[in-house]
A and B are shown apart, each in its own frame.
Chain A
């Protein structure tokens, strides 16, 4: 018995990238801040390119604390939604080409979010990666690290709790 030959890598990548694009591209606030996501397999890294409008302290200058909170919260909720969507796309349950803002899964709802500001945010690009600490049927707990020039020198870290959407029309 011969195994079916694996799908060409370009087709797999295209399917995953278009699912991610559909998830992230439809959110106006994410576009406003300029946040984008890079994907390695199922792992996402959030990127916040520096822009003058993100400054909170013009004397230093430093990124606005609220921008950092928003960036980390966005990274956390996209990571959660992506982990669900990934499974649906990989299992063939969802066709990424059919995804648009009206057919996407609802985003998780933030219950609470706590940010620790470890260093002042430099006027440079920032990066963030989320770790899903627990993802239950109803609730999820997520931890996020934010850094700039050095991966080992975090400028902020955060943790939050989310209510997971129950089905697409929830």
Chain B
């Protein structure tokens, strides 16, 4: 019996030490789409004067979310790893607010999965950051 891709991705996500350490939580996952939240935390601050979260923490969230979107895509049989990731920062995230990442794996070939993602705070109309990435499709379980 085939494993439910949602279960695999959810289990995998919870097993990622760095995602767990940043208290990331999956809100929705399936069919190449994923939404993950990361609560505000003082240890994530990049600018002590304003309390704004460091861009690197937003990158970690977007990378996790993008990887999970690849993992739960129906055409991806196994695990994945990031090939490249480009992040555009539109504005600083508002201090104190949870950051939410939404990723969509919009195309999968035999070897590469293509993903776009965005990061939002409470102001859903103005993204904090957007990302595009290419991920490895592991060939392990293909015939």
Q: State the A residues within 8 Å of B (CB).
A: 26-33, 52-59, 62, 64-67, 69-71, 73-74, 101-102, 106-107, 109-117, 120
Task: Tell me whether B60 and A101 are in contact (CB under 8 A).
Answer: no
Task: Tell me whether A26 and B48 are in contact (CB under 8 A).
Answer: yes
Chain A residues with Cβ below 8 Å from B89 are: 109-113
| Contact A52-B17, Cβ < 8 Å, known A27-B54, A66-B60 | yes
Task: Tell me whether B82 and A113 are in contact (CB under 8 A).
Answer: no
Task: Tell me whether B16 and A69 are in contact (CB under 8 A).
Answer: no
Task: Tell me whether A117 and B16 are in contact (CB under 8 A).
Answer: no
A112 to B132, CA, bound (A): 11
Task: Tell me whether B60 and A117 are in contact (CB under 8 A).
Answer: no
User: How far does the Cβ of B137 sit from chain A's closest Cβ, in whole Å?
Assistant: 14
Q: State the B residues within 8 Å of A (CB).
A: 15-19, 21, 42-49, 53-57, 59-64, 67, 79, 81-89
Number of A-B contacts (CB under 8 A): 129
| Contact A107-B16, Cβ < 8 Å, known A70-B59, A113-B55 | no
Chain B residues with Cβ below 8 Å from A59 are: 79
Which residue in B42, B64, B84 is a CB contact (below 8 Å) of A114? B84
User: How far does the Cβ of A33 sit from chain B's closest Cβ, in whole Å?
Assistant: 8
A82 to B28, CA, bound (A): 41
Task: Tell me whether A120 and B43 are in contact (CB under 8 A).
Answer: no
Q: Given A29-B56, A70-B55, A73-B59, list of 11 further CB < 8 A pairs?
A: A27-B46, A29-B43, A54-B18, A57-B16, A58-B17, A64-B64, A65-B67, A74-B54, A112-B86, A114-B84, A114-B87
Chain A residues with Cβ below 8 Å from B59 are: 66, 69-70, 73, 113, 115
User: How far does the Cβ of B135 sit from chain A's closest Cβ, in whole Å?
Assistant: 9
Residue of B nearest to A62 (CB): B81
Pick the most buried of B15, B43, B56: most chain A CB atoms within 10 A of its CB.
B56
| Contact A65-B63, Cβ < 8 Å, known A73-B56, A112-B87 | yes
